Amino acid sequence: MFHTFAFCCLCCCCLVGMFGGDAVKSVSVMEGDSVTLNSDTELKDDDLIEWRFGTNGPLIAQINRELDEIFIPDGTDGRFRDRLKADDQTGSLTIMNTRTTDSGLYEVTIRGSKATFTVTVYACLSVPVIFSESPQNSSSSSSSCSLVCSVVNVSHVTLSWYKGISVLSSISVSDLNRSLSLHLECLDDSYSCVLNNPISNQTTYLNNTELCHTCPDCTFCCHFSETVSRLVISALVGVAAVFIVVYDITSRKVEQKNSEQT
């Protein structure tokens, strides 16, 4: 009985050593790139290696080392046609020209034992667009320019506003036609909008001068130069008024002195 128990434990340890336990390996790749799934197993000359898409899913590749044969079927939907490559030396599977539809679980079976891979294919990121949004009621005294950073047709990404390297606001999106709006007045060029996923990012920097000119209804941002001009004119008028008063007082003193001397 003891010898039987010890033999079973030894077999279990061998299987754990073969595939590293029940851990699922996670792999991320950008759409269009290639990704290789490695079995990490020391193969034998008579091994039969099978790769499947999904848990107990359809066979997508088979390596028969005894017959020195590699079989890659087209499958029922042909999704991997001409995009798979198997290595009979390592037992690895390479997916070429990846697509987002390739995301999912992949199983490899060797000598009756299985290992699982989770593959995530991220779509190429579009560049986020920043534009000014006119207030709904431009006649309101509290109206102000708002800036919208927008992306469409995205999934599994985060859209964020940054000031320098500090995050001001962010939102994670998993469906389509989502946008992030940040309502601030007269931003400077240290603001940026960043779209990112775990392996890539796209950044658009704010061109504040250009956006201010395209927002005529903004009471502050678009009339900033006008406000400054009025302040300058008011200051000049004030200086002129002080000069006139001083000149008038000085002139009167001079006239009074002249009168006293005569």
Question: Does residue 139 share a domain with residue 82?
Answer: no
**Domain region containing 197:** 129-213
Domain-embedded: residue 43: yes
The residue type at 30: M
Question: Does residue 114 share a domain with residue 24?
Answer: yes
Whole-structure pTM value:
0.64
Q: What is the CATH number of the domain that holds 144?
A: 2.60.40
Q: Choose the final residue of a domain: 122, 148, 177.
A: 122
pLDDT one digit per residue (tens) for the chain, 262 residues: 434 444 444 444 444 444 444 578 999 999 999 999 998 888 999 999 999 998 889 999 999 999 999 999 987 678 899 999 999 999 999 999 999 999 999 999 998 889 999 999 998 888 998 887 765 444 444 445 677 888 887 778 898 989 889 998 888 877 655 665 666 665 666 788 999 999 999 999 987 767 754 444 444 444 444 455 566 666 776 777 777 777 777 777 766 666 666 6
59-64: strand order across its sheet:
25-30, 113-122, 104-110, 48-53, 59-64, 69-71
Domain-embedded: residue 228: no
Question: Considering just the CA atoms, what is the radius of gyration of the chain in Å?
Answer: 36
Contact between 130 and 148 (Cβ < 8 Å): yes
Domain-embedded: residue 259: no
Q: How far is CA 75 from CA 10, 33, 82, 118, in A?
A: 38, 22, 11, 20
Q: What is the CATH number of the domain that holds 50?
A: 2.60.40.10
Element (H, E) at 221: none
Domain-embedded: residue 117: yes
d(CA 178, CA 151): 7
Total of domains in the chain: 2
